[in-house]
Homo-oligomer: A and B are copies of this chain.
Amino acid sequence: MIGGGSGAFIGAVHRIAARIDDKYELVCGAFSSDAEKSKASGLLLGIPESRAYGSYVELIEKEKQLPENERAQVISIVTPNHVHFAPTKMALENGFHVVLDKPMTFSLAEALELEKVVATSGKLFCLTHTYTGYPMVKEARQFVASGKLGKVRKVYVEYPQGWLSQFTEATGNKQATWRTDPKQSGIAGAMGDIGTHAFNLLEYVSGLQVTKLCADINIVVEGRKLDDDGAVLLKLSNGASGVLMATQIAAGEENNVKIRVYGEHGGLEWQQCDANTLQVKWLDKPTEIWRTGAGYTSSFAQHNTRTPPGHPEGYLEAFANLYRNFAECVDGGLEGRQPSPESMDYPGITEGVRGMAFIEHVIESGKSEQKWIDLKI
């Protein structure tokens, strides 16, 4: 693991997610750019001192020299955005599979370069768009793909948070500080942090691509350097339209990402606060409540479920599904067999490139007087 030392939120989440299905063992880390802090974190996490490295460069170089059956196979990178590209590139080029936190890179240019690195490395790459790990999100994608709703006509996706309603970055809050700092986050704040999740969820569930967008991007809290609020009108690849809303100043909201998709015959609704439910709505029949673990769900939902219906699985299990599916593909490669379609269903480099393209275009649109901007890569 690169990053994720004491005080980091997402590093601990990655470690739990990796552990849940017993497919990973934490063997080494460069948990901080400060060598002392890295060793201290390693100690707490039960890593031998020799494998708690002082930098990602050291980690990759040293691990590479270990015998194949000892060295790390997969490197998780959970640093702020500006330290995504370089370690990922180096890890891939030195023979490690990579799990990387989103958004993928600091810029679209980096993303496009990384796409080439992945292709030439032959290594596997996973980008942790957590929400697509939920069983009922997978069910939603399968449902749309089945054609039962007919052609998709309208998509709404929203991601309201309230935790940046105040000028929190002035209080020393570590999460707030780097996420609102253009040097660490890149050109986008809320649009990068949660807008990309919403964008990924929309494209994943609908099976469509955003082709044009028209954005209203705002810095609401005085003194903030990056956007903390935005709403985007969308045109989709089949001619349908959509709306994406992402905000971090909706005071009183937690983290309730939600998607609604409407086709000719009916619609779907999923939201994280009721994550084990997928509402299926029909023009002329009662709305149906599809549930995680039920016997009538698809192989994709069932593959990503551990417990019977009524035993709620949550955010950590959704995250674990990414890790577990990725491990199945890594194992498949080692064992020379094709993983199942269910195992291969995790976000990767293509989703990362599209996410970075979204960021660049949505910020451009926010500044533009032109109504529609093409989302081209």
A166 within 8 A of B: yes
Contact A275 B306 (CB under 8 A): no
Is A374's CB within 8 Å of the partner chain B? no
Determine which residue in A233, A251, A272, A273 has the highest number of CB atoms from chain B within 10 A of its CB, and name it.
A251
- Could you say which residues of chain B place their CB within 8 Å of the CB of A313? 314-316
Is A49 part of the binding interface, using a Cβ–Cβ cutoff of 8 Å? no
Q: Does A266 contact B (CB under 8 A)?
A: yes
Q: Interface digits, A234-245 against B, CB 8 Å rule (1 contact, 0 not)?
A: 000000010101
The answer on a CB contact under 8 Å between A282 and B251 is: yes
Chain A positions 1 through 31: 1 when the CB is less than 8 Å from some CB of chain B, otherwise 0: 0000000010011011001111000000000
Q: For A282, what are the chain B residues with a Cβ–Cβ distance below 8 Å?
A: 251-252
Check A245–B316 contact: CB distance below 8 A.
no
| B-binding segment of A88-96, A328-336, A365-373 | A365-373
Known: A218-B241, A368-B371. 11 other contacts (CB 8 A): A231-B233, A231-B241, A243-B245, A250-B267, A251-B283, A254-B291, A286-B294, A286-B296, A306-B316, A313-B316, A370-B371
The answer to whether B283 touches A266 (Cβ under 8 A) is: no
Closest to A216 in B: B233
Q: Would you call A362 an interface residue if the criterion is a C-beta within 8 Å of the partner chain's C-beta atoms?
A: no
Is there contact, CB below 8 Å, between A262 and B255? no
Nearest 10 interchain pairs by C-beta: A252-B281, A254-B310, A255-B310, A312-B314, A286-B288, A314-B314, A311-B315, A287-B289, A254-B309, A252-B267
Interface set of A (CB-CB < 8 Å, partner B): 9, 12-13, 15-16, 19-22, 45-46, 149, 153-154, 156, 158, 160-163, 165-166, 214, 216, 218, 220, 229, 231, 233, 241, 243, 245, 247, 249-256, 260, 262-267, 272-276, 280-291, 293-296, 306-317, 368-372
From A267, which residue of chain B is reached at the shortest CB distance?
B252
Distance from A24 Cβ to chain B, minimum over Cβ atoms (Å): 11
In the complex, the chain B residue whose C-beta lies closest to that of A255 is B310
Q: How far is the CA of A12 from the CA of B311 in the complex (A)?
A: 14
A251-B263 in contact (CB<8A): yes
Contacting residues, chain B, for A294 (C-beta < 8 A)? 286
Q: A266-B252, A284-B295, A286-B289 are in contact. Are A307 and B315 (CB under 8 A)?
A: yes
Q: Please tell me if the beta carbons of A162 and B316 are within 8 angstroms of each other in the complex.
A: no
Number of copies: 4
Can you list 7 contacts pairing A with B, beta carbon distance less than 8 Å?
A16-B20, A16-B21, A22-B46, A162-B267, A253-B262, A256-B310, A287-B288
Are A275 and B368 within 8 A (Cβ)? no
Q: Give Cα A307 to B16, complex, Å.
A: 11
Query: Using Cβ atoms and an 8 Å threshold, which residues of chain B touch A308?
Result: 9, 163, 254-255
Task: With CB as the reference atom, state the residue of chain B lying closest to A243.
Answer: B231
Interchain CB contact under 8 A, B262 and A233:
no
Compute how far the CA of A154 lies from the CA of B313 in the bound complex, rounded to whole angstroms. Answer: 29
The listed residue with most B CB atoms (<10 A of its CB), out of A160, A273, A286, is A286
B266, A251: Cβ atoms closer than 8 Å: yes
Q: A274-B274, A275-B312 are in contact. Are A252 and B287 (CB under 8 A)?
A: yes
Chain B residues with Cβ under 8 A from A284's Cβ? 295-296
Shortest Cβ gap from A343 to chain B (Å): 18
> Is there contact, CB below 8 Å, between B249 and A214?
no
A267 touches B243 (CB 8 A): no
